[in-house]
Amino acid sequence: MSKIKVFVVDDHQLVTDCISLFLKDSDKVKVSGIAHSGAETLELLKNEVPHVILLDISMPEMTGIETTEKIKKIFPGIKVLILSMHSDYNNISDAIDAGADGYIPKDVTAEELVDAIITINDGKNYFHTSISDEIIKNYATKRKKSSTLLPQLTKRELEVLKLFAEGYNNNEIAEKLFLSVRTIESHKNHILQKTNMKNSVELIKFAIKNKIIEL
């Protein structure tokens, strides 16, 4: 069985040298290209197309996220495995949105690195345990915030928010609810404070997201 061809991309030569050394004795993976920037990676791809690209996020000029987007646009069949010391949710989320097939920290063992390469080459996703935990933790936090936010709004505030999101102005809402315009304005201010929204546009998005209104 032919080996999985891998490009190793990192702006630090010591890192690319070490990874290449790790993979040297593998009977399933071989390093077929090394690059130290996103631009250099795209140049390499003009001559050879690997199965998998190991890619760092923090690179000058063109980040790993931007490089991933370009690779996936030009070569959608190439699998991209992010290998980074940054394990925060924002970087993970950006990488996934860019099309990355996997994400692992730089302190993984050579064995796990090979396993990750094989896994994404087989068409599956691979996320290190710490990465998966970060994704789950962030999702749980957002879900908790979302689930506890609506009960904070009073029944009247929900009525005002629904009508406002449906396109009614303050005067029209006041007429419908038999309240003064000043009272409606007061309700809207309270809603903004409770939902941490900054303006009317964000408030409408909030109403749609929480299914207060249906599109």
pTM to 2 decimals?
Answer: 0.65
Predicted local distance difference test score (pLDDT) of residue 151: 58
pLDDT of residue 76: 93
The CATH number of the domain covering residues in 153-209? 1.10.10.10
The Cα 203–Cα 101 span in angstroms is: 34
pLDDT, tens only, 74-132: 999 999 999 988 777 788 888 888 899 999 988 888 899 999 999 999 999 888 887 77
What is the token pair recorded at 104?
């692992």
The CATH superfamily holding the domain 4-138 is Response regulator (3.40.50.2300)
168-192: string of b/e by CB count within 10 Å (b at 16+)?
bebeebbeebebeeeebeebbebbb
CA–CA distance, 38 with 68 (Å, rounded to integer): 9
Which pLDDT belongs to residue 155?
Answer: 84
Q: Indicate the SS3 state at residue 125.
A: coil
List the chain domain ranges: 4-138, 153-209
Mean per-residue pLDDT, 14-21: 92
Q: What is the pLDDT of residues 136-181, one digit of tens each?
A: 676 555 555 555 556 578 888 888 998 988 888 999 999 988 888 8
d(CA 150, CA 192): 12
- pLDDT over threshold 70, residue 66: yes
Q: What would the pLDDT profile of 25-57 be if each residue is shown by its tens digit?
A: 889 999 999 999 999 999 999 999 999 999 999
Pick the closest to residue 102 from 51, 170, 168, 44 (CA basis): 51
